[in-house]
């Protein structure tokens, strides 16, 4: 039987819904896509549940019409800059008489690692195993079926603001959607725009949206650092609006049609017509003038990120360079050249590689699906399947992330 996975990307300027199908050959197919402008989210945080819910509904209806089906569950993103990762360890004694590690042992060691003191306004979003250790032997990714006396787990515990979490979940619940998991954007985006070799050797991923710019450093296929700059695509649009005295909507249009992020690539000869507010006639500006405004603000974003990397001694970890993505800059010629000049690192534009959704605006939506699949089939096992026997203990389960997330969700909420 085919399996369907839905993602809802809550962005500052738009909501994106993607419905995917895992066919009988275990291949991922995108069967429905929908987008809707959103005014209920500011800088990645839900500030108006009703408005956000309406945008979710319209985006879902588009995706469902395309897929010719209805969905009721989804994975939802949460901005990486509003989450925190805590490394913790769990230790248990293996329970079985034959000392073979089974699903209950893994569940117990993860629950053991989840015991920690947190502020009252913070709650666990997810638990990500970094490695398992059996009787002192480390770097084990999947201990299921192995034999040992003591099982340890080094885990990354993702925590976030209760308010941020509940408002995002409630927005989806308002339209009848059950949230199977909240996934921090750095994990989602990394799955759609980078490859495992890059994340293993060291890569910086910069995701510039409309309201915020998230950046994350991956090394050894683990998130080492993530941060957020509260400046992004809408600020560039606003700068154009103020600088040229034109409306915000016109600024957004000319930014998308004619914007160049690196002034050496812009022309002084190519002229654009704009409609300044309060003036009856159109005025001409050069492509270079527009580029100067864009380069100044985008350069500021890159400089702020670069300073954060230097302050935290992270640039030495970035061996493969930078992957630049997001709807805020994905369409700008010259953004790659500007980033290369400021960071002094190789830069490439990252975008999903699925036909029909190969635009950076879909990086998070597709990444939510890819990440949920990675977690399902690589890390967790189904704890509620009484039919699983020890002879089959090496097989991965297909529903594990849901049951594990629900267990933690029910415990804290």
In this prediction, residue 358 carries a pLDDT of 80
Per-block mean pLDDT, blocks of 10 residues, the chain (413 long): 84 92 84 93 90 96 95 90 88 91 91 86 86 93 92 92 89 92 90 93 94 92 90 94 94 92 94 88 92 96 97 95 85 91 95 78 91 63 31 33 46 48
In this prediction, residue 95 carries a pLDDT of 87
Q: Which domains does the chain have, with CATH numbers?
A: 227-349 (3.30.420.40)
DSSP 152-170: EEEEEEEEEEHHHHHHHHH
Tokens for 163, please give them. Answer: 């308010």
What's the pTM?
A: 0.83
Q: How far apart are CA 332 and CA 291, in angstroms?
A: 10
Q: How far apart are CA 99 and CA 95, in angstroms?
A: 7
In this prediction, residue 163 carries a pLDDT of 87
In this prediction, residue 374 carries a pLDDT of 81
Give the helix/strand (H/E) hosting 200. helix 196-201
379: nearest Cα among 222, 226, 227: 222
In this prediction, residue 22 carries a pLDDT of 85
Which whole-number Å values give the CA distances from 6 to 213, 338, 391, in the listed order? 24, 35, 33
Provide the β-strand partners of residue 160. Answer: 83, 123
Helix/strand/coil percent split, the chain, to 5: 40, 30, 30
Question: Are the C-beta atoms of residues 90 and 152 closer than 8 Å to each other?
Answer: yes
Q: How far apart are CA 86 and CA 178, in angstroms?
A: 27
State whether the Cα torsion 104-89-227-313 is positive or negative. Answer: negative
Q: How far apart are CA 350 and CA 368, in angstroms?
A: 16
Q: Is 358 exposed, middle or buried (0-12, 13-18, 19+ CB in 10 A)?
A: exposed
Question: Are the C-beta atoms of residues 376 and 398 closer than 8 Å to each other?
Answer: yes
Q: How far apart are CA 237 and CA 59, in angstroms?
A: 24
202: nearest Cα among 313, 320, 305: 320
| pLDDT digits 0-9 by tens, 173-190 | 999 999 988 899 999 999
In this prediction, residue 122 carries a pLDDT of 86
Q: How far apart are CA 56 and CA 342, in angstroms?
A: 37
In this prediction, residue 352 carries a pLDDT of 84
């Amino acid at each position: 039987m085919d399996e369907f996975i839905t993602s809802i990307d809550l962005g500052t300027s738009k909501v994106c819904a993607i419905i995917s199908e895992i066919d009988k050959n275990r291949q991922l197919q995108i069967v429905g896509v929908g987008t809707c402008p959103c005014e209920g989210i500011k800088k990645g945080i839900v500030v108006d549940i009703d408005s956000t819910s309406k945008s979710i509904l319209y985006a879902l209806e588009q995706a469902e019409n395309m897929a010719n089906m209805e969905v009721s569950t989804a994975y939802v993103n949460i901005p990486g800059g509003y989450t925190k990762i805590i490394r913790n360890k769990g230790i248990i004694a293996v329970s079985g008489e034959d000392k073979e590690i089974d699903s209950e042992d893994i569940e117990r060691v993860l629950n053991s690692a989840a015991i920690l003191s947190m502020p009252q306004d913070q709650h666990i979003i997810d638990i990500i195993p970094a490695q398992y250790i059996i009787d002192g032997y480390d770097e084990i990714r999947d201990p299921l079926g192995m034999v040992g006396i003591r099982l340890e787990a080094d885990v990354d515990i993702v925590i976030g603001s209760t308010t941020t979490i509940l408002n995002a979940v409630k927005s989806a619940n308002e339209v009848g959607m059950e949230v199977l998991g909240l996934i921090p954007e750095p994990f989602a985006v990394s799955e759609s725009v980078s490859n495992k070799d890059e994340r293993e050797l060291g890569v910086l991923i910069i995701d510039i949206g409309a309201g915020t710019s998230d950046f994350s450093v991956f090394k050894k296929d683990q998130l080492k650092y993530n941060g957020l700059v509260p400046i992004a695509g809408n600020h560039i649009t606003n700068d154009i609006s103020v600088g040229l005295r034109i409306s915000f909507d016109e600024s957004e249009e000319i930014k998308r049609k004619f914007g160049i992020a690196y002034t050496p690539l812009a022309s002084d000869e190519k002229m654009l017509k704009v409609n300044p507010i309060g003036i009856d006639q159109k005025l001409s500006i050069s492509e270079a003038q527009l580029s100067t405004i864009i380069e100044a603000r985008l350069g500021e974003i890159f400089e702020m990120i670069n300073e954060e990397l230097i302050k935290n001694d992270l640039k030495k970890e970035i061996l493969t360079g930078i992957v630049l993505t997001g709807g805020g800059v994905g369409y700008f010629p010259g953004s790659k050249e500007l980033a290369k000049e400021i960071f002094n690192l190789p830069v490439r534009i990252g975008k999903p590689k699925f036909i029909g959704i190969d635009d950076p605006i879909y990086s998070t939506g597709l990444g939510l699906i890819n990440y949920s699949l990675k977690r399902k089939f690589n890390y967790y096992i189904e704890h509620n399947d009484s039919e699983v026997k020890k002879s089959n203990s090496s097989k991965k389960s297909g529903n594990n992330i849901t049951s594990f997330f629900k267990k933690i969700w029910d415990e804290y909420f």
